[in-house]
Amino acid sequence: MDLEEKREKRPPVTPMMIEEEAALRNGSRGLPPGSWAEAAGPRPRTTERHIAVHKRLVLGFAVSILALLAVTMIAVLLSVRFEECSAAADGPPRGSGNGSLPGAARQPSGAGQPPGRPEQEEENEARGGEVAEEEEEEEWQRRRELPPWTRPRLPQHLRPLHYNLMLSAFMENFTFSGEVNVQLEVLNASRYIVLHAHRMHIEAVRVAEDKLAGGVRVDRSFFYPQTQVFVVVLNRSLEVQKSYNLKIIYNALIENELLGFFRSSYVLHGERRFLGVTQFSPTHARKAFPCFDEPIYKATFKISIRHQATYLSLSNMPVETSVFEEDGWVTDHFSQTPLMSTYYLAWAVCNFTYRETVTKSGVVVRLYARPDAIRRGSGDYALNITRRLIEFYEDYFKVPYSLPKLDLLAVPKHPYAAMENWGLSVFVEQRILLDPSISSISYLLDVTMVIVHELCHQWFGDLVTPVWWEDVWLKEGFAHYFEFVGTDYLYPGWNMEKQRFLTDVLHEVMLLDGLASSHPVSQEVQQATDIDRVFDWIAYKKGAALIRMLANFMGHSVFQMGLQDYLTIHKYGNAARNDLWNTLSKALKRVGKSVNIQQVMDQWTLQMGYPVITILGNETTDNVIVISQERFVYDIDAKPKDPALGDSSYLWQIPLTIAVGNTSHISSEAIIWVSNKSEHHKIPALEEASWLLGNINQTGYFRVNYDIRNWRLLINQLTRNHEVISVSNRAGLIDDAFNLARAGYLPQNIPLEIIRYLSEEKDFLPWHAASRALYPLDKLLDRAENYNVFNEYILRQVASMYLKLGWPMNNLNKSLVQASYQHEELRREVIMLACSFGNKHCHQQAATLISDWISSNRNRIPLNVRDIVYCTGVSLMDEDVWEFIWMKFHSITAVSEKKILLEALTCSDDRNLLNRLLNLSLNSEVVLDQDAIDVIIHVARNPHGRDLAWKFFREKWKILNARYGEALFMNSKLISGVTEFLNTEEELRELKNFIKSYEGGAAVSFSRAVETVEANVRWKKLYKEELFQWLRKSLTH
């Protein structure tokens, strides 16, 4: 039975039953429940209903007068009690997932008993508040105004100054109760208090003027589910410049999902243990306590958490005092926070253990995880680099870390890689726990960069917070950029910011931003449903790429100085993009440069997409070139998102760096600011045999195209002496050529001719760029009849380097961080290409290593290529190998190994096994919720499973959307992963038909999916045969 059916079968709970429960808990037996509600109501009618006036008896009239006075006095005495109970009578929010939890917030202080379970769906309970709500809306309609609770943003007449939040967590039945006291400052008079609250039962509401004994009477209260707010209507207006206290008592579930205050579990010594943890970003604090859940409403917080003594509790600040009770319960009182937004408030209730270290400035850093993981030392790497990174950021930003401690919490289940809660950052285990004996370099790199990212947020996001979600890139773009800067600090030889940034950020986001359905990095956010939409790779990766471009044309030292000023000016507050632009412009002025940063960057942040610069040599005038710009799109037939703004209307101010080269030398770069559609520029020393190279080291966020003559000169240069061109530009030429050809700007053979030089390429980055560029092309062709022609061409380019590099030795006894990161990553990339495209020796080696593991039960497969070997073995060998990997997936505890074993299972050629895996993926006991998406996507990438995953996705959409619909990234990642390589007319029809019939959100993701598949179909029609003709001709020479 699903959750909705269970709710429908619950007995109805009326407001009267709620009042009866409240009366019994408080020992009230003088009035029956209905009389209590009527006596305490704001409009008492008890005299009319209970006093019979005999018209003929004066004495009776006198008695009635006395009774009226008596009842009125009782009503006055009880009015305060009503204010507490009225919210319960009005009922909890309609349409939310929980029922009421009677009794949860009324536990006696010494009681350890958990509250009762929900008894009915909230939609049925809330009817008592509907009439009042409708009356209020009618009143506002008469005024011809929208009621404040119907607007997408909270009204601005109140500002929270401080929250005092007391919680009791009942882990036996996964419920919690809370009491929140909010100190409010009145900016404009109003009789309405509107704040966020969702999926909770509110038991009592009280409003009092601060520091005074008298209360402000609550006329009524109700939920408004459409905007997820709770409305308190007072009998008089709150006065301007006065402070009031809002007290709300409530209870709710510790949900079995991924947002709000939710539960997770793990198995230790055969026993399943549970924990509760929060995920509030961007709009889910309202599920855990009533609050002003917008980033602009910064306040201080004082948290207290009551829990069983077998657990410990964590929050943003250190524990100040702990009060132990005789019945095995304890209350932890945490220190008060600095000013902060609700979305990075956090707490957890768990029975983890920890290890700790201390920074030079005295910040205590602890890593909490499952006891067995702590015992194995799986958190030691993360703990040590966190200490070093805090010291790095303090020095780089010249702003100290603002809290006395930072806890890193590793949890089994979480919707994202991590969340940057101030002082309590939460990570999914796969992104923080690392066992040096079985972790590859790529896994270490993943762990490192996630930690670097979250620590940057302690400054960009927590200390200085965007005013509103339209500028979420201000925190996510900076954190993503500093992933590479911070990793360079830890591993200077890895050249992350100058090299790996290109393939992992720039090239990747340009694929997405080249669609007509893209959006600006700063986009307007009106409705609550729009907020989740802004958290995508455009905000993260394009934001990071624009910041990198900005740092390069400003100069890194000036850029750093500007960031220091920005953080110092806005710390503990909010900032918008113009605040950043103004601060950076002032930093440039201080060094004698005058650039209007806002004027330049508005074009990059407020327009979607990016330009392709075309450089043409002018045949008639010496040393003069023509530079033009236009918006780059993959499918020129795709309808623009805004029909009024055609692609020809886009214009950017582009910092184009350019250099001239020949067979042995390249000139120093010059910068040309391109701001028109087409411009003529004189280039000195441009000889007939010279070639031009634009966007030096790919610091700019744009593609560069040339005339065919210049492309031929560049290809010739790569073949003769590729080292004249920098590593970054070699990678950039490969990526630009493949994508220009895919979009129809270049002949299809140009990128394939470029990669011929790779047999002499000894650097990792160009190989990595080629591998990433070949991947989508491979997926467009992998079901084609002539696929073997493409396959054979790629194998020829890979063969000689594969033989040169060979396979790594077993390195179980070596250090995890190899002496030569670049060399090991190059070897891994070449082996992956060789095995993927069917190199016989590579297949034999993988099969031999798998067979040795099975026969000896000792895994001697080199760490850095285990995922490749596992996948290749599963695809080539029989079902017994699949079962062996499946068994190992269940038995192993190391999270890094578990991840690659699960992904290997998706590589099978056996469609029955793939179907079996797809069905198992939705069993949370077998596959963690956050991993199920990866299973479905990896099956979709397998040519033998693409149609299976696509069919499974459509059949299970309701389940998938219910599970992941509210989680940032998850739905869009799933939709993109399942559809991005569909490329037939039939699949396109299926996609469009499905979108017409489906229920649920994700309209933007589906729109993007349609455009991607249309572009795939279009490319196959226009260019597939051209490509195969050239390949056949090339292979015969």
Which residues are identified as catalytic? 454
Contact 625, 686 (CB under 8 A): yes
Gyration radius from the chain CA atoms: 32
d(CA 459, CA 401): 8
Angle separating helix axes 764-781 and 821-836, nearest 10 degrees: 20
d(CA 926, CA 332): 35
For 31, phi and psi rounded to 5 degrees?
A: -130, 140
Could you tell me the two tokens for 493?
């030889």
> Tell me, what DSSP letter sits at residue 504?
I
Could you tell me the two tokens for 346?
């956090």
Count the neighbouring beta carbons within 10 Å of the beta carbon of residue 813: 6
Could you tell me the two tokens for 813?
């006894």
Count the neighbouring beta carbons within 10 Å of the beta carbon of residue 362: 10
Task: Give the C-alpha distances (Å, rounded to integers) separating 714 from 6, 264, 688, 694.
Answer: 67, 55, 13, 12
Q: How many CA atoms lie within 13 A of 813 on its CB side?
A: 1
Contact 474, 462 (CB under 8 A): no
Residue whose C-alpha is closest to residue 781's, from 943, 914, 587: 943
d(CA 301, CA 338): 8
SS3 letters for 902-961? HHHHHHCCCHHHHHHHHHHCCCCCCCCHHHHHHHHHHHHHCCCCHHHHHHHHHHCHHHHH
Helices within 644-763 (DSSP H only): 708-721, 727-742, 749-754
628: Cβ contacts below 8 Å, ≥ 6 apart: 613, 614, 616, 677, 678, 679
Could you tell me the two tokens for 150?
């119907």
d(CA 862, CA 955): 39
978: Cβ contacts below 8 Å, ≥ 6 apart: 936, 937, 940, 949, 950, 953
Could you tell me the two tokens for 379?
């958190």
d(CA 379, CA 434): 6
Count the neighbouring beta carbons within 10 Å of the beta carbon of residue 941: 18
Write the burial class of residue 623 (CB in 10 Å: 0-12 exposed, 13-18 middle, 19+ buried): middle
Going 86 to 89 to 93 to 96, the CA torsion angle's sign is: positive
SS3 letters for 419-445? ECCCCEEEEEHHHCCCCCCCCCHHHHH
For 164, phi and psi rounded to 5 degrees?
A: -115, 110
Count the neighbouring beta carbons within 10 Å of the beta carbon of residue 1007: 15
Strands 190-196 and 260-268: unpaired
d(CA 165, CA 182): 8
For 769, phi and psi rounded to 5 degrees?
A: -65, -40
d(CA 450, CA 193): 39
Contact 984, 950 (CB under 8 A): no
